[in-house]
Structure 1
Amino acid sequence: MTLYITSLVFFLFINGTLQVKNRSSKVADRCFCKLNGEIDDCSCKVETLSVLNNNKIYPRIKSLLSRNYFRYFKVNLKKKCPFWHDDSRCALKDCHVDTCKEEEIPSAIKKGSSAYRYSEEAQKEESCAEEKELSALNTTISDESIQAFKDWKEHDESQDLFCDIDDESSADSEYVDLLLNPERYTGYKGESPHRIWRSIYQENCFKPQTEYIYGPSKSSSPLCLEKRAFHRLISGLHTSINIHLCADYLYQENLGYGMKAHWKPNVAEFQKRFDPQTSNGEGPQRLKNLFFTYLVELRAIAKAAPYLQEEDFFTADSDEDKDVRQGIDDLLNIISTFPDHFDESKLFAGNPNEAKLLKDEFRNHFRNVSRIMDCVGCDKCKLWGKLQTQGMGTALKILFSGDDIGPDSTVNAQQKKHFQLTRSEIVTLFNAFGRLSKSIHSLEMFKSLLSKS
């Protein structure tokens, strides 16, 4: 009898354990059910991109982003929300961004690489000449100048600028050390972040036009490739942000004499956001959209490779600058050998007049998205939202610049008359891509944790 009871208990224990493992396995299978095969509207496969990122790109981009050139980002976190009164600021201390003191910023980054290379005497002479010239103020503006301003405005509007970039000369712009202000869950939640994404998706993100036929039944007209691409880009960005919030989730620990904050992965939160049963069936597609966004930004870096290889990445620390240039060359060589890049020539390829209108609409929608980031109530979330949208905007600028577009086209330093990247654009391009790279790398961790939970 004792042997029977022991055997029964052992059977129930093993059977229960197997059922729990089976349920966990099913959760993992549900969340990751679309992470296989070709990425939508692309020939590249999810599995191929995962291997490339996790084994080759992620370790290199992670190392590069720890360098001074990439870790300091000048941003204006005090800009007013242009769309509504922002009355929902996050009061939690983990929403706060620690800005850098003046003496903490490498002087070459503050002054700009070209100015820093002049001798002190040359800078002094130039400063005196500028002071004499600027002290004699002339307020007259000729008719020719007024016309020139109009030409400049038309030229600026013709550029492929897909997002608003902060004026770095503004008194409200400050340098932030990105390593000291990591992207993670801060406790910012509720109506404010929901309003941000609701505004992005409902007002600025293309969606199918639904027509109601015969009462409750309905059909949706399919989106064109460009509008599908826009929606996937935004969804992929949103997914990446959510993965970071789940990977570094805020927990409060009661130590008896006070609360202590610490961060670790939150598997339940990841499941909530990406399990089809808790995400209205959309979670797996959101994860797949992450790979689309990654592929687009990967292609942008590949296209800009000749330009980037001519950059100095100057911070006045000769050893570090040398290491950064070597690291950039190493990363670009790996990216250039990837055989299945996104083909931007498929976008805006129809009737020229219709394509121009669609491209303008595409650009204006994305610029609105970048402006919405100034409505984020949490400073740390705003910082990373602004950085990543600017990085994506820089990627789009690269894709549609140069003498040609398509998987074999490039932009280089000889094209600077028509195409240039500021230090801020380069910093946001690499940091935004680094966020996507880390997100894809984190998926393996969550897959493992879900299977074990």
Structure 2
Amino acid sequence: MRSSWKTRMSFLFLSLSVVLYTQAVKNKSKNSDVGGCFCKLNEQVDDCACQIESLDQLNNKQIHPPLQSLLAKDYFRYFKVNLKKQCPFWPDDSRCALKDCHVSACSEGQVPDGIKAEIHEKNKYSKEAQEEKSQTCQEERELSALDTTISKASQEAFKNWTDYDDSQENFCEIDDDTSADSQYVDLLLNPERYTGYKGASTHRIWRSIYDENCFKPEKGIAYGKQRSLAGLCLEKRAFYRLISGLHTSINIHLCAQYLLPSKTMLGSKTWGPNLEEFKSRFDPKLTNGHGPQRLKNLYFAYLVELRALAKAAPYLEQEDFFTGNDEEDRDVKQGIKNLLSFIKSFPHHFDESKLFQGNPKEAHILKEEFKNHFRNISRIMDCVGCDKCKLWGKLQVQGMGTALKILFSGDGMGPDSTVTNQHKKSFQLRRTEIVSLFNAFGRLSKSIQTIELFREQS
């Protein structure tokens, strides 16, 4: 009897040991797989003289904390967007009915008075407006015999001319702020996260972006397959890495803010990081080896937008960031100057002067092709069937387009070139461009910071 008892205990002990060993092997394998996601993040950013490790240090310690604080301020949290624009490429037949796809627009009274364009102009430029009004009255007295009316046809023509002039320097289409369908959205109340929007509709969006608007060295490369950049010029490689980096950033946000099941039977679901979802998108074993390069492309996109902020620093440092709240406006203005000082001090910025060089005629054609491809992508954002996904897609594409506008404007191109607000006719940013620029960069910054979270979980 005693012998039988010892035998059973030995068997149980052996079984437990096998279970523990098997679990340890699984955990080691799991950690190894996740670690494989980051295998390219100890290298240099492609086509740049910058180590990824240095960007991690800059972002996570110096840029991300103050940037997130700024983005919570009124000036940056309210974004005017038209979510009702029709898709220009195919019928909008895939609207998302999930509750998490919904966007709550602001009521008229929720938006600070200073942010509304007409009140902003009245307050911010009251002295100039009075001087202009006085001058206008004097001119009317002197020229009262003249017919100063303008026909509706002429007004429409002027608008078309303005739209055309604006489009020449813009890399993306920007919603008309005066449209009745444009509404202010509080970005803090409508965070970017996993909504359940997936399937054929999302695949069509990204397939159209990659297969129809990204440059590729050969025909027949399908969306989701390995895309070799060999043989592509620097500009076309840069375009692909920008889009891939943006796509990666969006995927990281969805993995970091995933709807998790309740831990108890009576508990509610919560939003949080989903390691398995992260692995499914970036593990080399689950992505045919593509995942690590996708993560690496995130740093390329980050470096490009970082350079745009550095180049536009003289312009942005002169902005009032006006909302009507004097104390907060002063804090934001000082916070922007502090943030830009960190950004300007970074020694390894992206060098845009290397792009569109060579034969001037060929460079001009390539630049227009580059610009038209990006504009198409901004239009594709209106085809997204989930309003929340559309909101953040439009904002991030517009922010990246604003960064490109900055890079190819100003007193030249290269590490020392800048854009200023001294010559408004040659360069100017609308409020919606500034808001999208900082929020888009904030999304990239958050993605890089989130990578550390998944590293720790692994």
Shift of 1:126: 5.8
Counterpart position of 2:257: 248
Q: How far apart, in 2, do the equivalents of 1:183 and 1:23 lie?
A: 31
Please give the secondary structure, in 2, of the residue aligned with 1:103.
coil
Counterpart position of 1:269: 277
Instruction: Check conservation: 2:173, 2:378, Cα contact below 8 A.
Output: yes
Structure 2 vs 1, CA of residues 64 and 156 (structure 1 numbering), >3 Å: closer, same or farther?
Answer: closer
Counterpart position of 1:229: 238
Please give the secondary structure, in 2, of the residue aligned with 1:374.
helix
- Structure 1: tracts of 5 or more residues without a match: 213-218
Within the alignment, does 1:169 sit opposite 2:178 as a pair? yes
Counterpart position of 2:448: 440
Q: How far apart, in 2, do the equivalents of 1:255 and 1:101 lie?
A: 37
Within the alignment, does 1:18 sit opposite 2:19 as a pair? no
Instruction: Check conservation: 2:216, 2:229, Cα contact below 8 A.
Output: no
Within the alignment, does 1:203 sit opposite 2:212 as a pair? yes
Shift of 1:351: 0.8
Q: In the alignment, residue 117 of structure 1 is paired with which amino acid?
A: K
Shift of 1:6: 7.1
Structure 2 vs 1, CA of residues 75 and 47 (structure 1 numbering), >3 Å: closer, same or farther?
Answer: same
1:203-225 CA distance string (max 9 Å, x none)? 0011112599xxxxxx9861110
Within the alignment, does 1:33 sit opposite 2:45 as a pair? no
Q: How far apart, in 2, do the equivalents of 1:444 and 1:64 lie?
A: 22
Q: How far apart, in 1, do the equivalents of 2:161 and 2:62 lie?
A: 46
Counterpart position of 1:139: 151
Structure 2 vs 1, CA of residues 151 and 140 (structure 1 numbering), >3 Å: closer, same or farther?
Answer: closer
1:63-112 CA distance string (max 9 Å, x none)? 00000000000000000000000100000111000000000100010035
Shift of 1:403: 1.5
Counterpart position of 2:300: 292
Instruction: Check conservation: 1:74, 1:175, Cα contact below 8 A.
Output: yes
Q: In the alignment, residue 84 of structure 2 is paired with which amino acid?
A: K
Within the alignment, does 1:191 sit opposite 2:191 as a pair? no
Please give the secondary structure, in 1, of the residue aligned with 2:198.
coil
Shift of 1:260: 4.8
1:255-284 CA distance string (max 9 Å, x none)? 879x95431111111100111121122111
Structure 2 vs 1, CA of residues 325 and 240 (structure 1 numbering), >3 Å: closer, same or farther?
Answer: same
Instruction: Check conservation: 2:190, 2:388, Cα contact below 8 A.
Output: yes
Shift of 1:169: 0.1
Structure 2 vs 1, CA of residues 254 and 347 (structure 1 numbering), >3 Å: closer, same or farther?
Answer: same
Q: How far apart, in 2, do the equivalents of 1:65 and 1:44 lie?
A: 27
Structure 2 vs 1, CA of residues 17 and 409 (structure 1 numbering), >3 Å: closer, same or farther?
Answer: same
Q: In the alignment, residue 39 of structure 1 is paired with which amino acid?
A: V
Please give the secondary structure, in 1, of the residue aligned with 2:300.
helix
Counterpart position of 2:435: 427
User: Once superposed, what is the RMSD of the aligned Cα atoms?
Assistant: 3.1
Within the alignment, does 1:114 sit opposite 2:121 as a pair? yes
Q: In the alignment, residue 139 of structure 1 is paired with which amino acid?
A: S
Structure 2 vs 1, CA of residues 6 and 140 (structure 1 numbering), >3 Å: closer, same or farther?
Answer: closer
Structure 2 vs 1, CA of residues 197 and 415 (structure 1 numbering), >3 Å: closer, same or farther?
Answer: same
Instruction: Check conservation: 2:320, 2:333, Cα contact below 8 A.
Output: yes
Structure 2 vs 1, CA of residues 126 and 151 (structure 1 numbering), >3 Å: closer, same or farther?
Answer: closer
Q: In the alignment, residue 61 of structure 2 is paired with which amino acid?
A: N
Q: 2:406 aligns with which of 398, 407, 419?
A: 398
Shift of 1:370: 0.2
Shift of 1:254: 10
Q: How far apart, in 2, do the equivalents of 1:126 and 1:280 lie?
A: 66
Instruction: Check conservation: 2:399, 2:436, Cα contact below 8 A.
Output: yes
Identical residues among aligned pairs (%): 61
Q: Map of 1:28-107 to 2, 5 A cutoff?
A: 28-107=34-113
Instruction: Check conservation: 2:113, 2:323, Cα contact below 8 A.
Output: yes
1:222-268 CA distance string (max 9 Å, x none)? 111000000000000000000000101123559879x9543111111
Instruction: Check conservation: 1:209, 1:220, Cα contact below 8 A.
Output: no
Shift of 1:17: 4.0
Give the TM-score normalised by structure 2: 0.88
Instruction: Check conservation: 1:95, 1:186, Cα contact below 8 A.
Output: yes
Q: How far apart, in 2, do the equivalents of 1:220 and 1:309 lie?
A: 38
Q: How far apart, in 1, do the equivalents of 2:152 and 2:12 lie?
A: 99
| Over 6 Å off, 4+ runs | 145-151, 254-257
Within the alignment, does 1:368 sit opposite 2:376 as a pair? yes
1:30-77 CA distance string (max 9 Å, x none)? 111111110100110111101111111110110000000000000000
Within the alignment, does 1:383 sit opposite 2:395 as a pair? no
Structure 2 vs 1, CA of residues 347 and 112 (structure 1 numbering), >3 Å: closer, same or farther?
Answer: farther
Q: How far apart, in 1, do the equivalents of 2:159 and 2:257 lie?
A: 48
Q: In the alignment, residue 447 of structure 1 is paired with which amino acid?
A: R
Q: In the alignment, residue 98 of structure 1 is paired with which amino acid?
A: S
Please give the secondary structure, in 1, of the residue aligned with 2:206.
helix
Q: How far apart, in 2, do the equivalents of 1:344 and 1:15 lie?
A: 53
Q: 1:418 aligns with which of 411, 414, 426?
A: 426
Give the TM-score normalised by structure 1: 0.89
Structure 2 vs 1, CA of residues 166 and 27 (structure 1 numbering), >3 Å: closer, same or farther?
Answer: same
Counterpart position of 1:216: none
The size of the alignment, in residue pairs, is 437
Q: In the alignment, residue 251 of structure 1 is paired with which amino acid?
A: L
Q: How far apart, in 2, do the equivalents of 1:108 and 1:146 lie?
A: 28
Q: In the alignment, residue 399 of structure 1 is paired with which amino acid?
A: L
- Structure 2: tracts of 5 or more residues without a match: 1-5, 222-227
